[in-house]
């Protein structure tokens, strides 16, 4: 089974992907955990380019091709082989991030994005996508730390340039809101694959929902 986590920054994807994989491993399921962009030696190099705060001159077309190159390497060299060996593959972000960020966020053409994504993944899509839903401001605050004012400007971001802020975090709040609305549309278009989790709650409650959903899908499939 191929499970992905999606959602805005700071929604808890990395935390819950790790907790879920640890839980499933304890329950003796064969499970591997990976992430996007990254997850292989080549993909990690592309991740460095994509998130480097100095690379403010990356053009949207370059950005989509770099994300897709990272995904092509990850899906072919890691995800597909593990699925074929019977593993549960958990991935922190996947192709839906491209539709949300480069499609809804940056306004790139959706048909083109779908074509590039289908080429990069050879059509490999998740069986289950867990959507961790939090208000954009809450997620950014979590990511930046509680003491930071994330500002309210629609352009000319007020996000402070801390070490943990990457190039993509620095885009303005309106962009992040478009991304979130995009996620909502993606979820509504494929309700059988997507499962929304209210991530604006204590960590344990969120993880309980995540586990319950995954176990019920595993049960249905067995
Ligand atoms: N991107 C793209 O544009 N196109 C694509 O195709 C792909 C990606 C694949 C990846 O950056 C960037 O690439 C991302 C989308 C873009 N950026 N933007 N903009 P990344 O991998 O570095 O970051 P991220 O994926 O956005 O993850 P994140 O910001 O690290 O957030 P997260 O993984 O969702 O959350 P977390 O790290 O698990 O938790 C953040 C903090 O909140 C942490 O201190 C937790 O302990 C805390 N937390 C988590 N849950 C809770 C709850 N429930 N309550 C309180 N605190 C919590």
CATH number for the domain harbouring residue 135 = 3.40.50.300
Nearest atom of ligand 1 to the alpha carbon of 171: 19
Helix (H) or strand (E) holding 6: strand 2-6
Residue 86 in contact with residue 30, Cβ under 8 Å? yes
At 71-122, the pLDDT tens digits run 999 999 999 999 999 999 999 999 999 999 999 999 999 999 999 999 999 9
At 134-192, the pLDDT tens digits run 999 899 888 877 555 444 333 333 334 334 566 666 668 889 999 999 999 999 999 99
Q: In what order do the strands lie in the sheet with 2-6?
A: 31-35, 88-92, 2-6, 128-133, 194-198
- What are the phi and psi torsion angles at 217 (to 5°)? -70, -40
Helix (H) or strand (E) holding 39: none
Name the closest-CA residue to atom 39, ligand 1. 12
Examine residue 37 and say whether the peptide bond preceding it is cis (omega within 30 degrees of 0): yes
Q: How many domains does the chain contain in total? A: 1
Nearest atom of ligand 1 to the alpha carbon of 132: 34
Cα(13) to centroid of ligand 1, in Å?
A: 6
Give the pLDDT confidence score for residue 117 in this predicted structure.
98
Give the pLDDT confidence score for residue 143 in this predicted structure.
82
Contacts of 172 (CB under 8 A, 6+ apart): 153, 154, 155, 156, 157
Q: Is the CB of 15 under 6 A from ligand 1?
A: yes
Nearest atom of ligand 1 to the alpha carbon of 71: 9
Name the residue range of residue 146's domain.
2-221
Q: Is the CB of 8 under 6 A from ligand 1?
A: no
Name the closest-CA residue to atom 18, ligand 1. 168
Helix (H) or strand (E) holding 43: helix 41-51
Cα(6) to centroid of ligand 1, in Å?
A: 9
Q: Is the CB of 93 under 6 A from ligand 1?
A: yes
* pTM assigned to the model: 0.93
Name the closest-CA residue to atom 48, ligand 1. 12
Angle of helix 60-74 relative to helix 110-121, nearest 10 degrees, comes to 30
């Amino acid at each position: 089974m191929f499970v992905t986590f999606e959602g805005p920054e700071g929604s808890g994807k990395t935390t819950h992907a790790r907790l879920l994989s640890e839980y499933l491993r304890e329950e003796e399921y064969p499970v591997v955990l990976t992430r996007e962009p990254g997850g292989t030696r080549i993909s990690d190099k592309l991740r460095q380019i994509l998130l480097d705060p100095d690379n403010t001159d990356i053009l949207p077309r370059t950005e989509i091709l770099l994300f897709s190159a990272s995904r092509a390497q990850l899906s072919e060299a890691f995800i597909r082989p593990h699925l074929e060996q019977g593993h549960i593959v958990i991935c922190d972000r996947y192709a839906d991030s491209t539709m949300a960020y480069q499609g809804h966020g940056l306004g790139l053409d959706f048909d083109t994005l779908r074509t590039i994504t289908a080429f990069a993944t050879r059509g490999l899509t998740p069986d289950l996508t867990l959507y961790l839903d939090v208000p954009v401001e809450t997620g950014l605050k979590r990511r930046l730390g509680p003491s930071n004012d994330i500002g309210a400007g629609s352009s000319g971001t007020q996000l402070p340039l801390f070490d943990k802020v990457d190039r993509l975090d620095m885009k303005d709040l309106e962009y992040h809101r478009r991304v979130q609305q995009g996620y909502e549309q993606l979820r509504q278009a494929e309700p059988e694959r997507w499962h929304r989790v209210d991530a604006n709650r204590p960590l344990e409650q969120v993880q309980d929902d995540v586990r319950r959903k995954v176990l019920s899908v595993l049960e249905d499939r067995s």
